[in-house]
Structure 1
Amino acid sequence: MPTGRISLLVDSPLRDLLIALRAVPAEARKSVTTYMRKEAEPIWFEETRDRATTRLQQRALVNTARVGVATRNIYLRSGGVGKLSSGTPVPTVAFGAEFGGNPDKQIEQRSRKGKPYKRRLGNVFGAPRRGGNVVYPAARASIPRIASVAIQSAYRALLDAFDGKQ
């Protein structure tokens, strides 16, 4: 199973490109990161949107999908910020929406009057799935595409910097 990481420890063109990018002026590096983010966001949104099958996954994982770009990393995030329409924080339900849950699991709750009782989790989150439902499969599919965009934008910025456009 692919892990979703790109290793720069081996002799690779991407590693050489990142080393060469250190010598580029700060304005060119900034344009590279803004361009990468602009190009990576639609890829990440499309991949997460295509894998969401329930409304909970749509609200908790797809609507909170974010892309962050630094000089050396690209961060694909989902389910970390925001609230649902019920007022529940998204991080509270994000794990269950991604990995599912056992419907027979007993949960302790309190009634409006404060009396504790137990109930079953039910089928809200779907069946348990070790590999994830939305975010992890989307990351496995989108990382090669985003890496390609990162390489192309960095090469373009390097060429522009050497030509004196930046």
Structure 2
Amino acid sequence: MRTGRISLLIDSPLRDLLVALRAVPAEARKHVTAHTRKSAEPIWIEETRDRAATRLQQRALVNTARVGVATRNIYLRSGAVGQLSSGTPASVVAFPAEFGANPEKQIEQRSRKGKPYKRRLGNTFGSPRRGGNVVYPAARESIPRIASVAIQSAYRALLDAFDGGK
């Protein structure tokens, strides 16, 4: 649930582009990854923000949305870093915030005095949904846009490298 992955090795023109990028100087490759990340992160945050329906989804999934760019892959992350205002790590509530939870599930808690008791989970996380609520639909919509940005920045770096490294 934490990461979505764009692999540019699937299609042969994209694979050819990556092979060509290997011949480019390291400085140009560094520019490609930096520019791709800078352009992809707003797309990813915008897509997740548009799908968050509750404050919990906003805090646990949207506020923790990050993009990682490597030489061969682009990683779309959400729900892995940071914590909520209560001090709970976002990673603890990310899965139920994305996929929902059964409101009738019994959970054990302790009172302030330390006495254990059971209560129902309630509708905090919403009803279960197999396809996800925020991250997975956002990934389906943003992957083509982010891949396009990655290809454009790679072509630009190749042209600059062949022109003399402006």
Shorter-chain TM-score bucket reads over 0.9
CA contact (8 A) 1:52 1:133 kept: yes
Structure 2 residue runs without a partner (length 5+): none
- TM (norm. structure 2) is 0.94
Q: Which amino acid aligns with 1:19?
A: V
Q: Please state whether the residue corresponding to 1:79 is helix, strand or coil.
A: coil
CA contact (8 A) 2:48 2:138 kept: yes
Q: Please state whether the residue corresponding to 1:29 is helix, strand or coil.
A: helix
- TM (norm. structure 1) is 0.94
Q: Please state whether the residue corresponding to 1:107 is helix, strand or coil.
A: strand
Aligned pairs for 1:129-144 within 5 A = 129-144=129-144
Residues 32-80 of structure 1: CA deviation (Å, up to 9, x unaligned)? 0000001101100110000000000000000000011111111100000
Q: How many residues align?
A: 163
Structure 1 residue runs without a partner (length 5+): none
The alpha-carbon distance between structure 1 residues 27 and 73, as it changes in their structure 2 partners (threshold 3 A), is: same
Partner of 1:52: 52
Q: Please state whether the residue corresponding to 2:93 is helix, strand or coil.
A: helix
Aligned pairs for 1:15-164 within 5 A = 15-164=15-164
The alpha-carbon distance between structure 1 residues 7 and 159, as it changes in their structure 2 partners (threshold 3 A), is: closer
Residues 101-144 of structure 1: CA deviation (Å, up to 9, x unaligned)? 00000001111111111000000000000010000100010000
Structure 1 consecutive aligned stretches of length 4 or more whose deviation exceeds 2 Å:
3-10
